[in-house]
Amino acid sequence: MTGTVRITVRTGTAPPAPSAPPRRLVLTAAEWAVLVEGRPGDLPPAFRPHPVGLAERDAAVAALTGRGVLRSPGGAAEPVPAVAADLAVLHHPLLTVRLAVDGRGGARHGWFAVGAGGVVVVLTLPDGGVELSLAPAARLGAELSRAVPEAAVVTGSATEGGSPPAEVLPAGVLPLHLLDGAVAGGQPPTPEEAALADELLRRTAGSLRCLVLGRTGSSLGAGQVSWLATDGGWATLRPRPATASPRLVEVVPVRPADLGVEIAPTVAALLAAGS
């Protein structure tokens, strides 16, 4: 998404109705820097703004004021209540999901903050700006799916005119150490396991990491999902029930829409523990 998007600003701070459409706001790097300037809380590394000059900052303030994102009731510019409420959720969420996608085709980061009834989303954009969204909390899975590019985009194999489809990614079970380069003793891998590992390593050119963070009493709880971007699509490595060494994982083809399903048990557990 590029260009300037006008938004309908809510005057209250109530969460969106479950059926409400997402509200999205595209911000330049300078506009994002102005919005988060002096806000409490630590920003994830991918969303820390770069320093902006005085002239650039003034231009960003003027643009945001003209779009109804900032107001100046006492002379100093500040976010309107609706936007201020979104920023407050980012810094004081019930639960946070951080998404990192990286590959030959580039990188993308997502920051999802779940509040009471709503989820605030920040996505990095190719031009250095960000997209700030508010959606009903029930749409967390849909917002995650929207943030995940197709594997071909991540691996750099997508072309303007299209390309012949790659072979279907094989599924199977194999020892995890065959993929991470670790040396494990005991029984050597079967020819099928070795062949599957070789094919995955050869066809992988990107990755996805989704980290879920929440409070469990006075402690911090976390869960993580990792995917591989291959020329045949996304694949996840699902741990098999713990048995004797070596540790086994199942290679399962997945789609962007599956990410919300994969993290759902962790999200539910952390929300329950933090309530």
On whether both 187 and 203 belong to a single domain, the answer is yes
On whether both 195 and 241 belong to a single domain, the answer is yes
On whether both 95 and 174 belong to a single domain, the answer is no
**How many distinct structural domains can be found in the chain?**
2
Mean per-residue pLDDT, 42-66: 93
Please say if the pLDDT value at position 242 is more than 80. no
Q: What is the mean pLDDT of the chain?
A: 86
Please say if the pLDDT value at position 130 is more than 80. yes
On whether both 171 and 212 belong to a single domain, the answer is yes
Q: Can you tell me the distance from the alpha carbon of 234 to that of 171, in angstroms, rounded to the nearest whole number?
A: 12
pLDDT at residue 12 in the model: 42
The verdict on residue 1 lying in a domain is no
Q: How confident is the model at residue 229 (pLDDT cuts 50, 70, 90)?
A: very high
Mean per-residue pLDDT, 29-53: 88
On whether both 179 and 109 belong to a single domain, the answer is no
Q: Which of 129, 147, 165 is the last residue of a domain?
A: 147
Q: Residue 96 phi/psi, 5° resolution?
A: -125, 140
On whether both 111 and 158 belong to a single domain, the answer is no
| Residue partners of 269: CB distance under 8 A and separation at least 6 | 221, 223
User: What's the domain range around 90?
Assistant: 23-147
Which of 228, 52, 25 lies closest to 131 in space, CA to CA? 25
Return the H-helix or E-strand segment holding 140.
helix 140-147
On whether both 187 and 267 belong to a single domain, the answer is yes
Q: Which of 147, 182, 211 is the last residue of a domain?
A: 147
On whether both 191 and 264 belong to a single domain, the answer is yes
Q: Which of 108, 130, 147 is the last residue of a domain?
A: 147
Query: Can you say whether the dihedral through the CA atoms of 149, 49, 96, 103 is positive or negative?
Result: positive
Least confident span in 6-10, 51-55, 142-146: 6-10
The verdict on residue 91 lying in a domain is yes
pLDDT at residue 162 in the model: 52
Label residues 223-256 b or e (16+ Cβ within 10 Å = b). Answer: bebebbbbbbbbbbbeeeeeeeebebbebbbbeb
On whether both 185 and 252 belong to a single domain, the answer is yes
On whether both 103 and 200 belong to a single domain, the answer is no
What interhelical angle do 81-91 and 29-36 show, nearest 10?
A: 80
Q: How confident is the model at residue 1 (pLDDT cuts 50, 70, 90)?
A: very low
On whether both 196 and 248 belong to a single domain, the answer is yes
